[in-house]
Amino acid sequence: MPAERGIDEAAAVLRAGGLVAFPTETVYGLGANALDARAAARIFEAKARPSFDPLISHLADAADLAALVGEVPAAVAELAKRFWPGPLTLIVDRPEIIPPIVTSGLDTMAVRVPDEPSARALIAAAGVPVAAPSANRFGQLSPTRAEHVVAGLGGAVDVVLDGGPTRCGIESTIVDARGDRPVVLRLGALPVEAIIEAVGPVEVRQGSSGQPVAPGTLAAHYAPRTPLRLGAAADPGGGRRGFLAFREPPADGDWAAVEVLSPDGDVTAAAARLFDALHRLDAAGVTEIVAEPVPDTGVGRAINDRLRRAAATWH
């Protein structure tokens, strides 16, 4: 089937209240019409997602933001101008037209324009904002390939668009820039350094409590089925173990499976491979995954954040 026809048909499914999984530059999203409360409810059902965890709405074009929410604070507009389309989610006031289920009852909403042509074509063809969390079951590894979506959500999705592996491999950075000082609510694919460069100092809020500012920030999240802990290749341990390395495979040790994120030592390349590597280690039949932290700069901060949360699930 030609790609364009696939997109038109998927857009029709969205308009009819169905669920479409689609690639973005970060991870695959599980999309529904954000103006349709029943369609949004199907997302929560398919993901087994708690109703207190609000969704991100996706727009085809930055210009659509004004049409949806009217005027936004200057720093929000500046960030949108600088980084959209791209892996940045911004918090704005929720307009009446967005049903409360999409925002879990919050009077704010999360919104972004993905930097993936097929995603923007899909949203434009649907003609509505598209609510889309990552297309995985709640708390599990995020999907960076169509195969991950099919394996995790299978029959719960009406259409899965396959765009190959995603470019960034890690979720968008979430920023609330409505106040005096922008607050980073979730570390992600857009490095904090880039945001500071654009709008000055920011606060990075590492929420991890039960009533989260951004529930991707629940301490336990992004977890493989296999217990994961942070550590080094030299750590003692028994059983069939897998190792997630940053740039070099372990020199010794009895590892049943090893994944190297970036032989060049590039954190951006490492992010692109992170979830794919974890999905593979998870499927390797090991009893434990040991993950080595990566350098804590740029998108490396978001990688370490995901690894810590995955490890927290297994305490």
Whole-angstrom Cα distance, residue 295 to residue 261?
12
- Tokens standing for residue 150: 């099919």
**Torsion sign over Cα 35, 66, 11, 149:** negative
Report, in Å, the least distance between residue 259 CB and ligand TXA: 22
Choices 21-29, 70-78, 159-167, 268-276 (CB under 6 A): range interacting with ligand TXA: 21-29
Whole-angstrom Cα distance, residue 114 to residue 88?
8
Map the footprint of ligand TXA across residues 175-214, applying CB under 6 A. Answer: 185-186, 213-214
Report, in Å, the least distance between residue 173 CB and ligand TXA: 8
Which of Mg ion, ligand TXA, none has residue 56 at its interface (CB below 5 to 8 Å by kind)? ligand TXA
Which residue number, 18 or 216, has a Cβ lying nearer to ligand TXA?
A: 216
Q: Is 217 in the site for Mg ion (CB under 5 A)?
A: no
Could you tell me if 259 and 169 are in contact, meaning their C-beta atoms sit under 8 angstroms apart? no
- Tokens standing for residue 148: 């991950």
Whole-angstrom Cα distance, residue 286 to residue 282?
7
Helix (H) or strand (E) segment spanning residue 206: none
- Tokens standing for residue 142: 């995020």
The residue from 215, 231, 242, 300 that contacts ligand TXA (CB under 6 A) is 215
The residue from 108, 206, 287, 297 that contacts ligand TXA (CB under 6 A) is 108
Q: Is 56 in the site for ligand TXA (CB under 6 A)?
A: yes
Report, in Å, the least distance between residue 127 CB and ligand TXA: 19
Contacts of 124 (CB under 8 A, 6+ apart): 60, 61
Helix (H) or strand (E) segment spanning residue 43: helix 37-47
Report, in Å, the least distance between residue 48 CB and ligand TXA: 13
Q: How many CB atoms lie within 10 A of CB 235?
A: 14
Q: Is 103 in the site for Mg ion (CB under 5 A)?
A: no
Report, in Å, the least distance between residue 91 CB and ligand TXA: 5
Smallest CA-to-CA distance from 20 within 4, 3, 37, 43 is with 43
- Binding mask 132-171 vs ligand TXA (x if CB under 6 A, - otherwise)? xxx------------------------------------x
Q: How many CB atoms lie within 10 A of CB 252?
A: 7
Which of ligand TXA, Mg ion, none has residue 103 at its interface (CB below 5 to 8 Å by kind)? ligand TXA
The residue from 10, 14, 20, 24 that contacts ligand TXA (CB under 6 A) is 24
CA 208 to chain centre: 17
Helix (H) or strand (E) segment spanning residue 154: none
Report, in Å, the least distance between residue 151 CB and Mg ion: 16
Which of Mg ion, ligand TXA, none has residue 106 at its interface (CB below 5 to 8 Å by kind)? ligand TXA
Q: Is 173 in the site for Mg ion (CB under 5 A)?
A: no
Q: Is 134 in the site for Mg ion (CB under 5 A)?
A: yes
Whole-angstrom Cα distance, residue 304 to residue 160?
29
Site for ligand TXA, rule CB under 6 A:
24, 26-27, 29, 53-56, 87, 89, 91, 103, 106, 108-110, 114, 132-134, 171-172, 174, 185-186, 213-216
